[in-house]
């Protein structure tokens, strides 16, 4: 059971629905068919508004030795924490079940494909919220038989584990699984605190960076060589993904696609066209529903979203859903294999009410919202969809946000984020442990209108390439919001833990409003002391250093075992690594060199980019 939550930092014109339900996964062994829940059939619970969505219409009876999983998402408090209901199902005796808040759970699962797209190992983190230590004893996957239905899961080999998780901590389990099919699995983790379960799709995790709908204009999809400088710019910024299915003059030009290999992110239908071995490495995920919480004026009900994505469950293609509004997105939790949200903090349409934020000494503004609410949104999305990986649409340059909305009648002339505003939003997302980032929206016109954003996005891309193994193998750990002595925001400290290194973020929240330009501005670097707790297996690190797009940097640090403390002169942000072994530093330097070599392969030619616009009819 994954309890619903409401993010208190967010401000809206309309209040939250105060009902807090829960997302539930029920694991059943043997031939069982769903019946009634608290005396009602699933369709009745959906019609009455008690449930937001369910997959029980896909339920099948399975053999005695097999397992199946029923999923539903409660919409009301009646289907939330500590609520009981009577289950009547064919193959089971009538029984009363209680949705008890768990003290132990699986917080994240990542499947790794070291070559190609077939995962051969996995990293799992389990949280222990009890007051006593627990031991992880074994892990087992349940999988469909080859050619079998995705709902019918059979037991696989048991992997013995010996992991201790102290009270209030997390533990990490790494398993070499051998080749895994790209389908749904039940994960069974045996611990002394009880058996922990999760149901999710096996998808190989890569940190992809998307350019959005960058290939949608004629001047960049033509096969003329004089349009290649635009693709050079995207690849220079470490973009490897875009929203397209087939882009004439690009994806049908094998030489051009081989030089600029952008992964596809689209509807990818019909399945027989796209679910092919040779195309799987070129696919990021399925995306065709837009923002269903808005749905072009009519919200698409969660059950309708599930139904539209259902055909993909038979395939090897991972699905995505773009969440838009935290006020109601808990009802859409769990619908897709790779959820992400779309929210920007300056001069853009927004679901939240920016004038309600009391953030800048009582000053109310309509052109921006607190940049750090990106982190609040990430943590909400992550918690509601665990243990699935999450991504984020991050605000980039955009040519299309004009002055026609009352939102923009605010005196701010710049209709896109400044380099600082752009970077900080992306950093808040990274610090929350996302596994892909999508820029909105790197069209040719947008990039040419705001060339001062090219270098900041390149630097973020370079840093992602340096840190992606940690982001992919890690899990979110601690978060702290630090205030200055006068009670105003100062810093936010976040950490991501992995098997060998802790990734530590300090993000500056002591920014102010530039009254002349109506933009957010940061102070000059100031002396600061940052402390982060470390999990038991990373305590007493051997090496601590700062990382940025320029490489690695020495810092003053100390460790008392439980914590690491860093003294540094910083503004805007600081990214640090606390490594258990001294070889981590060289690995980061190697990845930095590789990122620079990649950028040199795709040089930026400003004059050639200008010429594209001049030569386009």
Query: What pLDDT, on the 0 to 100 scale, is given for residue 403?
Result: 53
DSSP letters spanning 133-179: -EEEEEEEEEEPPTT--TT-BEEEEEEEEEEEE-TT-EEEEEEE--S
> For residue 14, what pLDDT band results from cuts at 50, 70 and 90?
confident
Cα–Cα dist 183/313, whole Å: 8
> So what's the pLDDT on residue 220?
63
Residue-wise pLDDT for 424-457, tens only, equals: 999 999 999 999 999 998 999 999 999 999 999 9
Looking at residue 406, its pLDDT comes to: 45
Q: Is 256 helix (H, G, I), strand (E, B) or coil?
A: helix
- pLDDT over 80 (residue 296): no
E strand or H helix at 46: helix 42-47
Q: Which residues fall within 8 angstroms of residue 617, CB to CB, at 6 or more apart?
A: none
Q: What is the pLDDT of residue 561?
A: 86
pLDDT for 169: 97
SS3 letters across 8-43: CCCCCCCCCCCCCCEEEEEEEECCCEEEEECCECHH
Q: pTM of this prediction?
A: 0.96
Cis omega (within 30 of 0) for bond into 270? yes
How far is it, in rounded angstroms, from Cα 572 to Cα 372? 12
| Helix/strand/coil for 484 | coil
218-221-226 Cα angle (round to 5): 95
pLDDT of the residue at 248: 80
Half-sphere exposure of residue 568: CA atoms within 13 angstroms, side-chain side: 25
Instruction: Confirm if 532 and 544 have CB atoms less than 8 A apart.
Output: no
The answer to whether the CB of 454 falls within 8 A of the CB of 532 is no
Query: Are the C-beta atoms of 507 and 548 separated by less than 8 Å?
Result: no
* Mean pLDDT value of segment 402-411: 54
When mean pLDDT is compared across 222-236, 266-280, 441-455, the lowest value belongs to 222-236
- State residue 249's pLDDT score: 81
Look at residue 519 and tell me whether its pLDDT is greater than 80. Answer: yes
Average pLDDT over residues 246-265: 90
Percent pLDDT > 90 in the chain is 88
pLDDT at 614: 77
Contact 319, 286 (CB under 8 A): yes
Of the pLDDT bands very low, low, confident and very high (cuts 50, 70, 90), residue 408 is very low
What pLDDT, in 10s, does the model give residues 527-560?
999 999 999 999 999 999 999 999 999 999 999 9
Q: What is the pLDDT of residues 460-513, one digit of tens each?
A: 999 999 999 999 999 999 999 999 999 999 999 999 999 999 999 999 999 999
Is a pLDDT exceeding 50 seen at residue 295? yes
In whole angstroms, give the CA distance from residue 372 to residue 376. Answer: 7
Q: Which residues of 321-357 are buried (b: 16+ CB within 10 A; e: fewer)?
A: bbbbbbbbbbbbbbbbbbbbbbbbbbbbebbbebeeb
* pLDDT for residue 221: 59
């Amino acid at each position: 059971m994954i309890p619903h939550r409401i993010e208190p930092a967010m401000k809206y014109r309309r209040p939250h629905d105060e009902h807090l339900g829960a997302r539930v996964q029920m694991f059943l062994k043997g031939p069982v068919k769903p019946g009634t829940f608290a005396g009602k059939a699933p369709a009745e619970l959906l019609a009455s508004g008690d449930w937001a969505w369910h997959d029980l219409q896909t339920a099948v009876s399975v053999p005695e030795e097999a397992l199946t999983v029923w999923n539903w998402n409660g919409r009301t408090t009646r289907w939330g924490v500590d609520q009981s209901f009577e289950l009547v199902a064919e193959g089971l005796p009538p029984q009363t079940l209680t949705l008890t808040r768990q003290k132990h759970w699986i917080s994240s699962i990542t499947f790794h494909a070291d070559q190609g797209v077939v995962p051969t190992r996995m990293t799992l983190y389990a949280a222990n919220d009890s007051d006593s230590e627990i031991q992880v004893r074994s892990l087992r996957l349940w999988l469909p038989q080859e050619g079998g239905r995705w709902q019918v899961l059979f037991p696989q080999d048991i992997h013995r584990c010996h992991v201790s998780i102290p009270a209030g901590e997390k533990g990490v389990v790494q398993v070499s699984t051998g080749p895994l099919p790209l389908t749904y699995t039940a994960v069974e983790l045996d611990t002394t605190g009880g058996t922990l379960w999760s149901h999710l799709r096996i998808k190989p995790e890569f940190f992809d960076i998307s350019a959005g709908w960058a290939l949608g204009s004629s001047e960049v999809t033509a096969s003329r060589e004089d349009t290649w400088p635009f693709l050079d710019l995207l690849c220079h910024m470490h973009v490897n993904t875009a929203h397209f299915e087939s882009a004439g003059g690009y994806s049908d030009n094998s030489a051009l696609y081989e030089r600029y290999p952008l992964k596809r992110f689209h509807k990818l239908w019909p399945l027989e066209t796209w679910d092919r071995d040779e195309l799987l490495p070129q696919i990021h995920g399925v995306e065709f529903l837009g923002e269903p919480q808005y749905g072009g004026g009519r919200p698409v009900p969660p059950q309708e979203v599930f139904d539209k994505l259902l055909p993909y469950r038979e395939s090897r293609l991972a699905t995505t859903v773009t969440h838009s509004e935290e006020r109601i997105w808990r009802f859409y939790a769990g619908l897709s294999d790779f959820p992400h949200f779309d929210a920007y903090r300056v001069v853009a349409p927004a679901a939240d009410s920016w004038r309600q934020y009391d953030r800048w000494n009582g000053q109310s503004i309509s052109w921006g919202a607190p940049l750090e609410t990106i982190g609040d949104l990430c943590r909400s999305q992550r918690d509601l969809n665990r243990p699935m990986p999450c991504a984020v649409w991050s605000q980039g340059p955009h040519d299309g946000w004009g002055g026609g909305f009352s939102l923009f009648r605010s005196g701010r002339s710049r209709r896109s984020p400044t380099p600082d505003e752009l970077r900080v939003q992306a950093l808040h997302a990274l610090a929350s442990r996302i596994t892909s980032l999508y820029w909105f929206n790197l069209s040719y016109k947008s990039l040419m209108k705001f060339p001062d954003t090219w270098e900041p996005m390149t630097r973020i891309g370079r840093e992602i390439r340096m840190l992606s193994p940690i982001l992919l193998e890690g899990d979110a750990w601690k978060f702290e919001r630090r205030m200055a002595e006068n009670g105003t925001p100062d810093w936010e400290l976040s950490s991501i833990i992995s098997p060998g290194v802790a990734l530590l973020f300090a993000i500056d929240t002591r920014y102010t409003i530039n009254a002349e330009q109506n933009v957010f501005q940061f102070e000059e670097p100031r002396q600061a002391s940052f402390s982060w707790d470390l999990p038991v297996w990373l305590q007493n690190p051997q090496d601590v250093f700062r990382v940025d797009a320029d490489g690695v940097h020495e810092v003053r640090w100390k460790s008392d075992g439980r914590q690491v403390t860093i003294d540094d002169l910083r503004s805007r942000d600081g990214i640090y690594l606390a490594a258990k072994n001294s070889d981590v530093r060289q690995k980061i330097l190697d990845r930095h060199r590789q990122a620079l070599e990649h950028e040199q392969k795709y040089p930026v030619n400003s004059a050639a980019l200008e010429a594209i616009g001049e030569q386009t009819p």
